[in-house]
Amino acid sequence: MPLRAMLLLPLLLTALAVAAAHPLDPLSAAELAAVRAAVLASPLIPSRPLTFYYVGLDEPEKPDVLSYAYASGGAAAALPRRAFVIARAGGESHELRVDVTASANATVISHAVHTGAGFPTLTLEEQFAAVALPPSHAAFVESVRRRGVDMDDVLCAVFPVGWFGDGDGEPRRRRVAKVLCFVASETANFYARPIEGVTMVVDLDAMAIVGYRDRVTYPVPKAEGTDYRAGEVGPPYDGPTPAPGVVVQPEGRGFHVDGHVVRWANWEFHVGFDMRAGTVISLASLHDAGGAPRRRRQVLYRGFVSEIFVPYMDPVEEWYYRTFLDAGEYGLGLWAFPLIPGADCPSNAAYIDGHYSAQDGNPVDARNMICVFERYSGDVAWRHTEAGFPSQLVRPDASLVVRMVVSAGNYDYILDWEFKMSGSIKLVVSLTGLLEVKETAYSHTDQFDGDAHGKLVSENTIAVYHDHYVTYHLDLDVDGTNNSFVKNTITTITGDTGTNTPRRSYWTVKREVAEREADGQVDLTASESPSELAFVNTAKKTKMGNEIGYRIVPSGVATARSVLADDDFPQRRAAYCKRQVWVTPYAKAERWASGLYADQSNGGDDGLAAWSRRNRGIRGEDIVLWYTVGIHHVPCQEDFPVMPTISGGVELRPVNFFERNPLLRMKPPAPRQEQILVNGSCAR
Amino acid sequence: MPLRAMLLLPLLLTALAVAAAHPLDPLSAAELAAVRAAVLASPLIPSRPLTFYYVGLDEPEKPDVLSYAYASGGAAAALPRRAFVIARAGGESHELRVDVTASANATVISHAVHTGAGFPTLTLEEQFAAVALPPSHAAFVESVRRRGVDMDDVLCAVFPVGWFGDGDGEPRRRRVAKVLCFVASETANFYARPIEGVTMVVDLDAMAIVGYRDRVTYPVPKAEGTDYRAGEVGPPYDGPTPAPGVVVQPEGRGFHVDGHVVRWANWEFHVGFDMRAGTVISLASLHDAGGAPRRRRQVLYRGFVSEIFVPYMDPVEEWYYRTFLDAGEYGLGLWAFPLIPGADCPSNAAYIDGHYSAQDGNPVDARNMICVFERYSGDVAWRHTEAGFPSQLVRPDASLVVRMVVSAGNYDYILDWEFKMSGSIKLVVSLTGLLEVKETAYSHTDQFDGDAHGKLVSENTIAVYHDHYVTYHLDLDVDGTNNSFVKNTITTITGDTGTNTPRRSYWTVKREVAEREADGQVDLTASESPSELAFVNTAKKTKMGNEIGYRIVPSGVATARSVLADDDFPQRRAAYCKRQVWVTPYAKAERWASGLYADQSNGGDDGLAAWSRRNRGIRGEDIVLWYTVGIHHVPCQEDFPVMPTISGGVELRPVNFFERNPLLRMKPPAPRQEQILVNGSCAR
């Protein structure tokens, strides 16, 4: 369990002196402190101790935010500032709304007790407390001794238990988690050295071990070959080394960060931070040079990672329940780490901090959670060679990247939003970090008899098959709030073409507009799946009469969908992972694909699949795209001891949104190379 | 038709003084000149004029090249240098092999006359000659006058006729092409202003117009809005401009170019250039730091773009035949253009020149055909955050890109090979340039009645639906010559898992090894298609017992396959485009997927589909992967007047090729930023 320094802001109230917040700004440290004070002062929850599980912005109503952001003429009116809180006290999950418009006078304005299934995201503090229990648990001491391991070398981590039918109909189940342990000596990579066979169950409210099992003993894999730190990986490769390279911006950065609003080229958007979702992109809009005066046109009201479902594929006792919901159970913002300048993000990046609430409600100042940088990939934005005027016809590409890195235990997710001058937004998930491995008695594939449920990546070490499903909530508002979802299918026409030519076939495009939610679910891997998906604004057209839209372009290395049985318990909790694409009508409360209370959720009446069972109308409505980037991970030896990054994602690309290629009017970002460079080095 | 300066080398024989060529080096200017002299001096073809259509390296036998490249101990013996020539004389296509091992004594060593269907790649010179014919053709003069166009503004281009059943059984058909014309005044983008309805047929051997048709008259689209040159596209966007940025390498480049051999990090490979294929990558191998002594391990014997099939989807008289085979009909090397430093490739790139033969056999010196550069994308090669040692755990990525740009008429193909330290090779096709458009009487979609066969992208301008199929020949030799093709399928297991846990399903991997060519054909868009494809070396295993392999990872935005009817004529010529993946046993002569003579080919007995009908064994053999990157292009207004780049490709990724993640032992390329940068600018 990583130990994160929690820096309490020493002078909370000074933060109040800054300018009025944008209505979508995350709660400031001062606001978080005010929320804490209001909740603790409220008579609505008399029980103590009271523990904070989630504190985040309770955003204003969408029409109010749109008016604020796009109102023409005159200053936009400030909107109320409110927090949504999940706290636990007296064995119950409480939901509160707190008005912090005036921080000095913060007030609880609503309170409810959660009566359904599931629990809130685990706090960091209770995980620290839970992993401190095993060393003083007698049975564990004996298990460790019997394996010849020194307890000082043991390090433990918390694993959610999932839900497997137990307590169905009893929503007030115990809030428990499993604790598994590893040998952390002689390597940084303790995940590679599990104490396989030992499973503990901790009651998180009582903070006590309530279950213990030592089922099977395997040799703990050796430390040799598991480390990934320089100096611990053997002699370095003695061949040529790639040259160091760095991006230089002789005129400085080209983007502007004003509070949480970022402006770059034709883009403007708001960057927020949430304990559960991490980065939240809002109000992304494009300035269109095509008309006069310059117009700001809506593209995306809100986008964030709603859930990451990671089911493992070994049904054995120590593994069957490993079916993680990383956002709902762990929290992506909670497990985001400060980005390392020059490594996680290039040296030309700027950084945005985050704030969240500790378990005691005090604000935590999380530095460098998000970085923003201009990318110069060496690619070409557009080009053409034609005789006679060759020098003017190539435009090098530049784009703007917004990045967060989440290290949810062993895995690292690099989550990028890339904004392009063409109007495209690319969402990229890059996976790296450490594999979750299982011990085995074997050291060669020939020794296996039957399904190993993974690949032998090192001696006594199986990397278990698993999936990653990263689900985005994308409230596209293409040139306005009301949109439709269009499925286009390439269709072959054969036979007499009626043209008196010898051509015998061609394809054309068959268009279907989704009427209801059931029509909005698409399995991208089905052979009959549409070749093109788009959100279009049916109320507006280009001068040529084409529908104004955005195409949804999957990057096909990551279009896996869940193949678990529909009645399997993890599948019921993440039922939405059966389809990569869902479309729902906008509803402010529908944010978390796995439901608000994901820990021990039972796939009941909250979550994307449940909401969509109502089969609401989605044609010409304010609709939301849910897109899942999916990867079946069959590990290989190259993934050990640390994985080379693999990436997948989806691109949102304008299609007849502009009257013409918008790049043509963008001034080229060509550097004045001759002034700064001599053979690729800084000039003297 | 672009006019390329053809620079004849003034001092051909001085080139002979250089060191002995690598056996896969393209023919030098001196060797091309020697080939010309030998062919013209040979008594085997007495007819004149004699015209050169193709001159390229006739590579030595593969075992000899492998011995040369990988022989351990002692200097590799020089191999004979031979040219393969296609020349036309007396109305026939002649094939010659010329030995140029001693350039001063070059000798024709074989001669044959091609008796089958099809003709060689068109020369640039005959296209220049053909487009000069229309202005003096009386009927065309009248057609132009009637449209109110000034003949001085007219510019024409050559379009292959394809094959539509005519002359079947008569292989000695006339060698003809169609010539279409455009209005080139007031815009650089003459493709946007076709003189629709007028089609001419030119006999290329007689160099005369032999067919004329003026079928229909539409208004020529206005020039306004069609140009893409700065200063011609309206006022620039008045918002913020992205900052200029440039890569600086304070220690210079990290790669070494020795003749045509490139060495970078753990990679070594040979870069060739061919009139038809353009870039040819050979003998790509990896130095593996995993053992001692350092080993050089084979990955790819040969890779190049074999064909680009671009069928349009309008069956009307002026469009039905537009079913281009860009490599076989036009030549990718012939239509590659000098790369613009700092624009086509970043300022830290190095350049490789090409040579090819003009129609008269004289060598043409084509500068800057290929660039090589290190890319610093801002991405992360691997990372992990764990408590206690955060500073060492992020490795920024660097890769090596080899790029060529082909402007085959209106379209521009940016063809990248990206080599990664992880062992991956990414092949990326980026499409940009100009759409091929059709005139229409209409200026609004509401005016259309029935299928427009494309999208209205501007007034009177339809961008016709079409496909791009870029087919790579990839002779993978994974850690040795003999490989097998493995198809892995994710398969769900349901019911009792036998583990006494409540889990009801999981997936595992079902493995199938392809025995014969029919098993090696894969449609990636079929729902039952395997989830993982790999080439493996069945004779070698890792220490853990895993098969040493390379995975084939499609980038899913570009996995379209042809949907034309099997009996349609263009589909017969490019039958292989029905499957994205084919695997064949290696045969030196099997290079061109559409056959050696692609112009007017009839899909007969040459080409990938024809070869594979023999259904040869491919298990544990020296096998070749043919991979097609496919895009259905439904144009939109953003694609006009010039297309923003769209990209797709395929990644060849090591899978159990290494015992461990090979990146761990690579020295990190982190720049000494503090020495060169102050706030992203060069330090003073």
Task: Give the model confidence (pLDDT) of B434-448 as tens digits.
Answer: 999 999 999 999 999
* Contact flag B376-A247 (C-beta cutoff 8 Å): yes
Strands (E), A562-670: 581-585, 623-633, 643-655
CA atoms within 13 A on the CB side of B117: 22
Q: Which residue of A has its CA nearest to B346?
A: A378
Residue A199: which H helix or E strand, with range? strand A198-203
Catalytic member of A330, A411, A465, A469: A411
Give A681's contacts in chain B (Cβ within 8 Å). Answer: 248-250, 252
- Kindly report, residue by residue over B341-395, the tens digit of the pLDDT: 999 999 999 999 999 999 999 999 999 999 999 999 999 999 999 865 555 589 9
* Contact flag B342-A266 (C-beta cutoff 8 Å): no
**Chain A residues 308-337 within an 8 A CB cutoff of chain B:** 313-317, 320-321, 337
* Residue A531 banded pLDDT, cuts 50, 70, 90: confident
Backbone torsions φ then ψ of A168, nearest 5 degrees: -65, 130
Nearest to A680 among B1, B249, B433 (CB): B249
Structure tokens at A47: 């029980």
Q: What value does the mean pLDDT of chain B take?
A: 91
- Residue A411 a catalytic site member: yes
Give B213's contacts in chain A (Cβ within 8 Å). Answer: none
Spatial neighbors of B7 by CB under 8 A, at least 6 apart, are B364, B365
Positive or negative: CA dihedral A477, A478, A479, A482 = negative
Strands B198-203 and A198-203 turn out to be unpaired
Q: Does the pLDDT at position B235 exceed 90? A: no
DSSP string, A28-90: PHHHHHHHHHHHHH-TT---SS-EEEEEEE-PPPHHHHHHHHH--SSPPPP---EEEEEEEET
Q: Please tell me the least confidently modeled range out of A544-558, B7-21, B665-679.
A: B7-21
Spatial neighbors of B428 by CB under 8 A, at least 6 apart, are B414, B415, B416, B418, B555, B647, B648, B649
Mean pLDDT, to the nearest integer, of B422-445? 96
- Kindly report, residue by residue over B13-31, the tens digit of the pLDDT: 344 444 578 999 999 999 9
Q: What value does the mean pLDDT of chain A take?
A: 91
Mean pLDDT, to the nearest integer, of A193-208? 96
Pairwise pLDDT comparison (A250 vs B593), residue with the higher score: B593
* Contact flag A636-B643 (C-beta cutoff 8 Å): no
Give B183 to chain A, closest Cα distance, Å.
15
Q: Does the pLDDT at position B601 exceed 80? A: yes
B434, B229 contact by CB (below 8 A):
no
- Kindly report, residue by residue over B28-60, the tens digit of the pLDDT: 999 999 999 999 999 999 999 999 999 999 999
Residue A140: which H helix or E strand, with range? helix A138-146
**β-pair partners for B172:** none
Strands (E), A204-260: 208-214, 246-248, 255-258
* Contact flag B248-A246 (C-beta cutoff 8 Å): yes
Mean pLDDT, to the nearest integer, of B5-19? 39
Structure tokens at A594: 């796995």
**Tokens 């912090």, located at residue:** A100
Q: What percent of chain B has pLDDT over 70?
A: 91
B242, A669 contact by CB (below 8 A):
yes
* Residue B408 banded pLDDT, cuts 50, 70, 90: confident
**Tokens 């039952």, located at residue:** B528
- Kindly report, residue by residue over B560-571, the tens digit of the pLDDT: 999 999 999 999
Give B544's contacts in chain A (Cβ within 8 Å). Answer: 443-445, 456-459, 637
Give B669's contacts in chain A (Cβ within 8 Å). Answer: 241-245
Mean pLDDT, to the nearest integer, of B220-247? 86
* Contact flag B347-A680 (C-beta cutoff 8 Å): yes
Classify the phi-psi angles of B74: left when phi > 0, otherwise alpha if psi is within -120 to 50, otherwise beta.
left
Rounded CA separation B595/B611 (Å): 10
Rounded CA separation B463/B437 (Å): 4
The reported pLDDT for the residue numbered A1 is 38
Starting at the earlier edge strand, list the strands of the sheet with B208-214.
B154-160, B176-183, B198-203, B208-214
Rounded CA separation A549/B444 (Å): 17
What DSSP designation does A329 have? I
The reported pLDDT for the residue numbered B233 is 82
A47, A93 contact by CB (below 8 A):
no
- Kindly report, residue by residue over A410-444, the tens digit of the pLDDT: 999 999 999 999 999 999 999 999 999 999 999 99
A 10 A CB-CB count for A657 gives 28
The reported pLDDT for the residue numbered B666 is 82
Rounded CA separation B556/B420 (Å): 20
* Contact flag B343-A380 (C-beta cutoff 8 Å): yes
Side chain identity at residue B277, one-letter code: A
Give A557's contacts in chain B (Cβ within 8 Å). Answer: 553-556, 651
Give B681's contacts in chain A (Cβ within 8 Å). Answer: 248-250, 252
Give A299's contacts in chain B (Cβ within 8 Å). Answer: none
Give B114 to chain A, closest Cα distance, Å.
27
- Kindly report, residue by residue over B70-96, the tens digit of the pLDDT: 986 555 678 999 999 999 999 999 999
A369, A339 contact by CB (below 8 A):
yes
Q: Which of B588, B318, B643, B314 is nearest to B451 (CA)?
A: B314
Give A4's contacts in chain B (Cβ within 8 Å). Answer: 387
Nearest to B502 among A165, A252, A632 (CB): A165
Q: Would you call B170 helix, strand, or coil by DSSP?
A: coil
Full set of structural domains in chain A with CATH: 12-113 (3.10.450.40), 263-337+357-380+406-482+514-675 (2.70.98.20)
**Which residue in A163, A189, A237 has the most chain B C-beta atoms within 10 A of its own C-beta, making it the best mutation to test that interface?**
A237
**Chain A residues 478-537 within an 8 A CB cutoff of chain B:** 488, 490, 492, 494, 497-509, 525-528, 531-532
Nearest to B669 among A4, A241, A313 (CB): A241
H helical segments located in B298-438: none
- Kindly report, residue by residue over A445-483, the tens digit of the pLDDT: 999 999 999 999 999 999 999 999 999 999 999 999 999
Give A313's contacts in chain B (Cβ within 8 Å). Answer: 506-508
**Which residue in A637, A665, A673, A675 has the most chain B C-beta atoms within 10 A of its own C-beta, making it the best mutation to test that interface?**
A637
The reported pLDDT for the residue numbered A168 is 59
Rounded CA separation B539/B548 (Å): 9
- Residue B326 a catalytic site member: yes
Nearest to A638 among B400, B446, B662 (CB): B662
* Contact flag B245-A245 (C-beta cutoff 8 Å): no
Nearest to B340 among A394, A642, A654 (CB): A394
Nearest to B240 among A264, A638, A641 (CB): A264
Q: Which of B645, B646, B616, B641 is nearest to B631 (CA)?
A: B646
B555, A555 contact by CB (below 8 A):
yes
Say yes or no: B542 contacts chain A, CB-CB below 8 A: yes
Say yes or no: B656 contacts chain A, CB-CB below 8 A: yes
Structure tokens at B20: 């002995």
Mean pLDDT, to the nearest integer, of B523-539? 91
What DSSP designation does B123 have? P
Q: What percent of chain B has pLDDT over 90?
A: 81
* Contact flag A394-B564 (C-beta cutoff 8 Å): no
The reported pLDDT for the residue numbered B596 is 98
Q: Please state the length of chain A.
A: 684
- Kindly report, residue by residue over A301-341, the tens digit of the pLDDT: 999 999 999 999 999 999 999 999 999 999 999 999 999 99
* Contact flag A644-B235 (C-beta cutoff 8 Å): no
- Kindly report, residue by residue over A113-159, the tens digit of the pLDDT: 999 999 999 999 999 999 999 999 999 999 999 999 999 999 999 99
Say yes or no: A142 contacts chain B, CB-CB below 8 A: no
A252 burial type by CB count under 10 A (0-12 exposed, 13-18 middle, 19+ buried): exposed
Q: Please state the length of chain B.
A: 684
A20, A78 contact by CB (below 8 A):
yes
Spatial neighbors of B572 by CB under 8 A, at least 6 apart, are B566, B602, B603
Q: What percent of chain A has pLDDT over 90?
A: 81
Give A662's contacts in chain B (Cβ within 8 Å). Answer: 638
Q: Does the pLDDT at position A3 exceed 90? A: no
CA atoms within 13 A on the CB side of A588: 10
* Contact flag B348-A245 (C-beta cutoff 8 Å): yes
Rounded CA separation B102/B16 (Å): 9
**Tokens 């309490």, located at residue:** A8
Nearest to B385 among A337, A654, A669 (CB): A337
Q: Would you call B411 helix, strand, or coil by DSSP?
A: strand
Over the range A218-228, which residues count as b (16 or more CB within 10 Å of their CB) and which as e? bebbbbebbbb
A93, A120 contact by CB (below 8 A):
yes
A 10 A CB-CB count for B113 gives 12
A334, A356 contact by CB (below 8 A):
yes
**Chain B residues 266-305 within an 8 A CB cutoff of chain A:** 266, 287, 289, 294
The reported pLDDT for the residue numbered A73 is 57
Q: Which residue of A has its CA nearest to B322?
A: A503
* Contact flag B505-A564 (C-beta cutoff 8 Å): yes
Nearest to A233 among B343, B386, B664 (CB): B664
* Residue A665 banded pLDDT, cuts 50, 70, 90: confident
Rounded CA separation B436/B643 (Å): 11
Give B373's contacts in chain A (Cβ within 8 Å). Answer: 378
Nearest to A637 among B294, B544, B569 (CB): B544
Strands (E), B49-160: 51-57, 82-89, 92-99, 107-113, 154-160
Catalytic member of B411, B413, B465, B627: B411
